[in-house]
Amino acid sequence: MTGFAAAPGGPAVSGPGPLVRVQPGTGEATLYCFHPLSGSVAVYGPLVARIGRDQRAFGLQSVGLLDGWEPDTTVTVMARRYAEVIESQASGVPVFLGYSLGGVLAVETAGLLAGRLPVPPRVVLIDCDPLYRPREEGGPWQILARQALGIELPVDGLAVLPAEQALERVRAAGARQGRIPVRMSLERLAVMLKVCEANEAAAARHVPMPYPGTVHLIRSAGAVPDADPWHAFAERAVVSVVAVGHHDIMGAVGVPHVADVVRPLL
């Protein structure tokens, strides 16, 4: 995957790298969407469109998804890479948006860029914690199926199968559900799984530094705003709770609610 040329007046994107266009647009704010554990930024497409068809947005994807690149193995290395890219491209008001691991990356990158951008970034987090806590069993296989490919697949037992057989099951389920091409290569799925493994391992090892600024946090139903763990890591945490569950927050049910919270911050 390679970058795309930006809209007039927006950041330029050139050559293969982590920065990709999610949506062209105009206005003072530029939305930067940080990849979740899957490494892909595809999950942000419906949300950005719902926020507004004229909202300029870019994504920071895992370099491990690029041909010939290995995944970064720590959150710090990822954040340094993304900070360098954003610093060289940023214009207008930068807004950092992150779901899952993307939230941690957004905060880490914003901390690295403190005082280095003409306008300090606004940081918006979607249902993520500062310290990684697996939400479900299945590890990288569940991340690959649910988050990277958007398919429903029981992953129990996949890890003990021969790799090719396990990947064939994932491909078959994805094709049946219309999420991936029937002839998608197993090699490509193996690359995606490798990225999921690397990102989960990086998230599990990471301990965030205090963030000297405000984070706007969107939590799923049942959250207790006053007890949110981000209060201990950010100078200020503003918590909004939306009436959807964790697994629905970035889906068709949750996107309108999340967009309603994000839009005023732009």
Classify domain 19-132+206-265 by CATH architecture. Answer: 3-Layer(aba) Sandwich (3.40)
- Quote the pTM value: 0.91
Render pLDDT for 159-204 as a digit per residue (tens, 0 to 9). Answer: 899 999 999 999 999 999 999 998 899 999 999 999 999 999 999 9
CATH 3.40.50.1820 placement within the chain: 19-132+206-265
Distance CA 17, CA 30 (A): 18
The amino acid at residue 105 is L
Render pLDDT for 4-29 as a digit per residue (tens, 0 to 9). Answer: 233 323 333 445 689 999 999 887 89
Residue indicated by tokens 């994000």: 262
Model confidence at 1, pLDDT cuts 50, 70, 90, reads very low
